[in-house]
Each structure stands twice: as C-alpha cells, then as structure tokens.
Amino acid sequence: MDHDEESFEDREIRTWKLKLIWAWILTIPIAIVMLSDRIFGMSLIPESYMAIVLLVVSFPVVFIIGFSTIKSGLKGFTSFYFNMDSLIMLGTVIAYLTGIIAFSGLIAIQDYSGISAMIMAFFITGKYVETKARGRATREIKKLLELGAKKARVLRKVGKSGKEEEVEIDVSEVKLGDIFIVKPGEKIPTDGIVVKGESSVDESMITGESIPNDKIKGANVIGATINQDGILYVKATKVGSDTFLSHIIQLIEEAQSTKVPIQKMADKITSIFVPAILVVSVLTFLGWFFISKDLSKSIGVGVAVLVIACPCALGLATPTALMVGSGMGAKKGILIRKGEAIQTMKEIKIVVFDKTGTITKGKPEVREVYSKIPGKSLLDLVGSLEKQSEHPIAKSIVAYAESNGVGRFKQVKKFKTLRGRGLEGEIGRNKIVVGNSLLMKEKNISVKEFENKIDSFEEKGYTTMLISKNKRVIGLIGVADDVKEDSVSAVKKLNSGGFRTVMITGDNERTAKAIAERVGIKEVLANVLPEDKANKVKELQKRAMVAFVGDGINDAPALKQANVGIAIGTGTDIAIEAGDIVLANGSLNGVVSAIRLSRATFSKIKQNLFWAFAYNVVALPLAIAGVVHPVIAEIAMALSSITVVTNANLLRRKKI
C-alpha cells in the first residue's frame, strides 16, 4: 500500500511495529551485557566501560524510540491528567539519570540506566499489541463519498440560439432542476426524478436488494446507483448534502459518535492508579532517605516502586485477549473489528436481522412452477422469451429451464420489454406474454381460474409470473430470494438461547411474514424505508440491548446505531466497515458463535484485569519495603505481562 493512502490507524500500527523491532534490537544486547556475569560467569564488557556503554545504547531506546511516550508522560505533569505514559516516563528517565550520576562519580549510586531501556522496550511491546488488537479503524465515510459519480452529463442552453446541448460538468456543479442524462452502465450523479426514458437501475449498493428496480417516467432515482440497460433523462431534485447518500453518511456519523469504548473502565482506573503510584513512589523515596540517609538505596527503592507498578499488564489485559479472540474468530469466519462489541455483546437481548442478503441469499431463484400444459413445454416457451432479457428474474427462469432439460430455446419475434410489468413476443404463430397480474389485466387476459394459486404463491413470499399463450394463461412461476440454508438453524439456536429475534425489511407485510415464518422469527417490521432502519433499532434499544445483522449500505446506519453491529461479509464493503463484528462467510450460525466468542473473550479480559491488579497488590508492598531490587522489579513486571498473555491464550481451549 502507498503510505500516502494509509489511514491514520494503519500508520500507527506500522510506527509501533518499527519502534518494537528497533527497541528490542538495542535492548537484548543490554540485557545480555547486564546479566553476562551471572549467565557466563564473567562480564562481557570491562567494568570501567560498562556505564558508558549502557548510557549510549539505552539513550536511543528511551529518548528516540520512546520519544512520543516521554513527551506524552511530560504532558501529564503539565496538565495534571496522568496516564500510563507518566509512570513510564518518570521510571525510565530517573533510571537513566542514575547512570549519568554514577558515571560522573559525584554521588555513589547504583547505575539503573540499562533498566530504563528494558522498561521502555516492554512498554513499546504492550503499545504495539494494543494498537494491533484494536484493528484498523473504519474508513466507511471516505468509501461512501467515493461511491458517488464524479461527473454529470447535463442539458444546458448554449449560444445565442438557446439550443440545449449535452455538457459534461462536475457533480458539485449540478443544480436543482437540471436535466441530466444517464447512459447504460453509468452511475446516477444525484437524486432525481425520471422525466424521459425507461431502464432498470441497480440500487443494491444502497438498498442491499439484488433485483434491479425498473424506472419509468415519474420514478425516483438515487445518486450513486447504476443505470443498466436504457437511457434515462433525470431532473435533479436533491443535490449536495441533501441527497440520500449524504443522509446515510450523516446517520453513520451520528451513530458512531455515541459509541462507548471498552477502554473507558481501564482508563478511569488508570487515571486514579497512576497518580496514586506517583505519590507512593515519592513518599517511599522520602521515607527511605529519611530512615537510611542512603540516596542510592532510596532512589533504587523509588524506581523499583515505579517499575513494579508500571501498568504494562493492565495495558496488555484487554488487547491480548482481543487478539486471541480475534484469531479464534477469524478461523471460524468471525472478524471482531471493534473492541467495544466484546463488552456489550454479553448484554444483548434482541437480535435484529435485515432480510435480503442476510436471512436470504440475495439472489432470485425459481421456487415453484404450476402448469396447465406439460412442464417442459411451459419452460421452453417462457425460457425462450426470458432469454431475451437481462433482468435477474429472467436469468433465474432461464437457468431453471436449462437445469430442467430445456436445451435450445426457440426463436422469438417482436420481443418487447414492458417495464415493471413483464415481457411479450411471438414464438412461431403463438403470442406469448409473461408478467404480473397487472400486465394480464392490461392485456385483457383472464386470471380468474388462477386466483387461488396466485394467492398461494404470494403467501409463500414469491414474486409471481403468469405465462399466457394466445390470451390464455397456461401456467405460473414463483420466483423468490431463497432463504440461506443455515438461517433456520441459527434463528432456532438464538430463540432457544432466550434471545428475541426480529426481522426488518422494506417488503410488504405478507411477503415478510412468509419469510419470517420459514426461519422461525416471530416478530416482523415490514415496509421499513432504508433510512428508517436505524430509527427502528433505536426504538428497540429502549427495551433492551440490540445486535443488528445486515449487509447493505442502507444497513450501515443501523449497524452503527445498534449496541453491536454484525455485518455479513458477503455484503457491501460499507456494511462490513460499519460492523463491529463481520461474518466473513455470510453464515448466520456465525451470529451464535460470535455471541459465544464475545462472552468468552470478555471473561478473559476481566480475568486479565484481575491478575494485573492482583500482581500490584502483592508486589507493591514488597517494593516499598525495599525487598525488591529494580532488576527483580523489571523481571516481575515482565512476568506479570507474560501471565496476562498466557491467560489470554488459554482462551483457545474454549469451544465456540
């Protein structure tokens, strides 16, 4: 990736990784030199050179690689808002200064400068793990803005004659009332109303619906959607910040600003813990100096208190558990993108599902055929006609005909697409019409004999296509966006787990209830406009914590509004970026696994926080008592971090 195109979070991860590598490249030799006498029975560097070597090698670790930490820590003393950096800064700087004092020979004091590099190296390790665990931040706003068309082809009066000509301009220059032209395959520049032309428009990037919507004169179109097969003349009705896409962006920003991060609790504890340790460290130093009059010993004990109380384990408690949980989830196709989801998932009581592409496959399929003539003959006729169309329903019927033995389709003459209603054409001497009830009524073709069957199809949630041969209906084909194989089992598990399951959709209530009944969802919110999904989630949140499962751009505000947003990975990029948790393989069983994983991971976070504080409760009194040497304090601090990391890795034994 070009560094110029990296997000702030990507750059932060890369920066801490480089700091981590260089910190340990310099610190490992320091540790070997300091411990060489104990390990090898001899010192690798003469005693007379030891102080200067430690000072020189430790300097870049503390003051160059750790510059941002030192700077942040100093701010705590000027603003009186102390953080972890404040302890690290004080501990490392004091430890490093002992090396300078010892080297100068002014005061007989123990040289702890090598310890300063170790403290900083361990801290940088924790920061890298934490930054990496938080994951790459969302860039959905930028992606949404990139979805829109860049140019628009508008009709403008040119010259003295006032004749209208096509002029290409930037989208930002489009004004209300402008007539713009959209050719097949082009993005619609802004929201508007069709004044001329007919076409199908792929609105899946906005609605999540896979079937393109037919557009005729008077129909509304949405900016950033894609025109398919006809030329449309559109009058601009909304521009700039008033467009539907801009409104979706605004909803995401509003919902995003209300999120509460999981680190709030740890930050609150740290804000009290850090200044308390600073006070304890100063009092310890003063107490020891007053009693012993030994400056070297007093500084050593004070530094030991700072080092042993260094909240590295506290800093690692959350991110290490998140990293392990994230790794486990990734193997199961569950991507944890936001840490706060771990905290809130355990409180979820209501799970809301979008319908299309979430509960259903998002692809129309032939579900049922009813014929008054031999089945293959019906499929031969309707397949031959539908073969001429590019509509997804037509493609599904053609595919079904081919899979049921129709080899070569018949030649069609006088083919015509009747926008929003169906198709017509001639096969041999027979006039064939395929379409909905409205088209049959328009052509004066009686459907009375089939009314019960039509009702039956619609009750099952099918889009019903009637086939007429020479003004007489000969059969029906029911097309539907089929339910995913695992939707039923996933909903059943949630229902049995005591969760309240809800389906939300823009479909009419009859179709919606038919789908909901098939998967076992008891509650349905039908006829919901895309921009109203987030409001429906907000209403449900008044009763309990809500998880929302969706896949379309129109789901993004609801995913952000929900306490936990679960995005289907087979959906749009924007929905995926908006989700706290992403189900990479699109399986709804992942919702159940995600809940189990989140609960197990949060449990580990709580255990880690307990051990981080328990360690301090035991170790601090020993440090204050002067029992713990700064080197031992450093080892103890490292062991506390290792304990937290090891405990987090025990999470792998959990079955999700």
Please give the positions annotated as active site. Answer: 354
User: From residue 297, how far is each of 285, 286, 293, 392, 569 by CA, in Å?
Assistant: 9, 11, 9, 81, 59
Amino acid sitting at position 8: F
Contact 378, 369 (CB under 8 A): yes
- Rounded Cα distance between 188 and 314, Å, is 51
Q: Which one-letter amino acid corresponds to residue 196?
A: K
For residue 621, the one-letter residue type is P
On whether the CB atoms of residues 578 and 559 are closer than 8 A, the answer is yes
d(CA 425, CA 412) in angstroms, rounded, equals 6
Count how many residues are written for the chain.
Answer: 656
Closest CA to 634 of 619, 614, 618, 645: 619
Q: Find all residues with CB under 8 Å of 403, minimum gap 6, and list them.
A: none
At residue 513, φ and ψ (nearest 5 deg) are: -65, -35
Q: CA 593 to CA 333: how far, in whole Å?
A: 10
Question: What's the CA angle centered on 507, arms 503 and 513, to 5 degrees?
Answer: 55
Collapsing DSSP to helix, strand or coil, 83 comes out as coil
483: left (phi over 0), alpha (psi -120 to 50) or beta: beta
Burial-class residue 308 by CB neighbours within 10 Å (0-12, 13-18, 19+): buried
Say which amino acid occupies 445.
I
CA distances to 134, 204, 334 from 585, rounded to whole Å, are 22, 19, 8
| Dist CA 65 CA 15 (whole Å) | 10
Contact 210, 572 (CB under 8 A): no
